C-alpha cells in the first residue's frame, strides 16, 4: 500500500481529499477504511457491535464546538466532571480548561481521518444513547466489556488508545478514543506548526490572539505530548 501523504489543509480539517465515506456521515482516511472494518468484524465475532460515534471532524465543526464553549453555549468540564464557569478565568486559563476535553480547531486528531470514538451499540437504543463519559467505560459501565476486549485486541489491527490519562496535565483520559497508529504517525510527522499558525490567523476563532501567542506551548501540551 502506498504511504499516505498529508498536506497541512488536510491535517487541519480544511481539505477532505484524503477521505472516503465509509458509512453515511462517517468519513475516514482511505487507508484506514479496511483496518477499522476488520476491527469491527473481529469485535462482532467476540460479541460486540463496535460503532463509530465520531470519525472525521472538519475544522468548521471543531470551530463551532470551540466558539460555543467559549461563549457558554456548550458546557466545559474539569477532570472531575464538574462544570466550569469560564467567565471567572483569563483567556489562557479558559483555553487550558477547554482543551481538557476539546481540541483547538486545527489540532484535533479527528481531522486526519485516523481517529475514532467508539462504543458498543448492543448496550444502547434510541432512548439511551452513548454519552462517551468515563463511567461508561469503567467497571460496570455498558462499554466496559468492549473496552477490555479492545485493550487485548485492537493492536492487531494497528489501533491504540492515545488519551490514557497517564499525564497530570493535557488531555483527560478518553477510553472511547482509538487511533490507527501507522497512519496517524505519518500525519504527526507531516504537521507543520508554522503553517498551522498562519492558517489559524485567518480564521474566526474565539481567543484567537491568545491562541496564536501561546500556540507552540499549546501544541506541545495538547498535541505533541500524545505522539506515539
Over the stretch 150-193, which tens digit does the pLDDT of each residue have? 999 999 999 999 999 877 789 999 999 999 999 999 999 999 99
- Beta-bridge partners for 178: 116, 161
pTM above 0.85, yes or no: yes
Tell me the C-alpha distance between 50 and 137, whole Å.
Answer: 13
- Beta-bridge partners for 180: 159
Which residues lie closer than 8 Å to 207 by C-beta, 6 or more apart? 70, 91, 94, 95
Mean pLDDT in runs of 10 for the chain (228 residues)?
Answer: 89 98 97 98 98 98 98 94 95 97 97 98 95 95 98 98 87 97 97 98 98 98 93
- Any idea which residue has 472494518 for its cell? 37
pLDDT in the model for residue 1: 67
pLDDT in the model for residue 73: 97
- Inter-axis angle of helices 215-222 and 193-201, to 10 degrees? 120
pLDDT in the model for residue 174: 96
pLDDT in the model for residue 159: 98
pLDDT in the model for residue 80: 86
Write the DSSP assignment of the chain as a string of letters. Answer: -PPP---HHHHTTS--TTEEEEETTEEEETTTHHHHHHHHHHHHHTT--EEEEE----HHHHHHHHHHHHTTSS--B-TTS-B--GGGS-HHHHHHHHTTTSPPTT--GGGGT-EEEEEEGGG-BTTB-----GGGGSTTSTTHHHHHHHHHHGGGGTEEES--S-SSSSSPP-TTEEEEHHHHHHHHHH--HHHHHHHHHTS--TTHHHHHHTHHHHHHHHTGGG--
Amino acid at each position: 500500500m502506498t504511504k499516505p501523504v498529508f498536506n497541512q489543509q488536510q491535517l487541519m480539517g480544511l481539505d477532505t481529499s484524503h477521505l472516503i465515506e465509509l458509512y453515511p456521515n462517517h468519513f475516514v482516511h482511505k487507508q484506514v477504511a479496511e483496518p477499522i472494518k476488520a476491527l469491527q468484524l473481529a469485535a462482532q465475532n467476540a460479541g460486540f457491535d463496535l460503532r463509530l460515534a465520531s470519525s472525521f471532524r472538519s475544522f468548521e465543526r471543531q470551530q463551532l464546538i470551540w466558539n460555543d464553549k467559549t461563549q457558554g453555549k456548550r458546557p466545559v468540564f474539569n477532570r472531575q466532571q464538574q462544570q466550569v464557569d469560564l467567565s471567572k478565568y483569563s483567556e489562557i486559563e479558559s483555553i487550558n480548561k477547554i482543551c481538557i476535553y476539546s481540541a483547538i480547531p486545527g489540532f484535533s486528531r479527528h481531522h486526519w481521518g485516523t481517529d475514532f470514538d467508539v462504543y458498543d451499540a448492543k448496550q444502547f437504543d434510541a432512548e439511551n444513547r452513548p454519552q462517551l463519559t468515563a463511567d461508561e467505560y469503567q467497571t460496570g459501565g455498558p462499554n466496559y466489556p468492549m473496552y477490555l476486549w479492545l485493550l487485548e485486541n485492537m493492536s492487531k489491527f494497528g489501533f491504540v488508545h492515545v488519551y490514557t490519562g497517564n499525564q497530570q496535565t493535557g488531555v483527560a483520559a478518553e477510553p472511547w478514543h482509538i487511533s490507527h497508529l501507522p497512519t496517524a504517525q505519518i500525519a504527526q510527522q507531516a504537521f507543520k506548526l508554522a503553517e498551522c499558525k498562519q492558517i489559524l490567523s485567518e480564521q474566526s476563532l474565539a481567543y484567537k490572539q491568545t491562541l496564536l501567542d501561546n500556540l507552540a506551548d499549546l501544541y506541545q501540551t495538547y498535541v505533541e505530548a500524545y505522539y506515539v
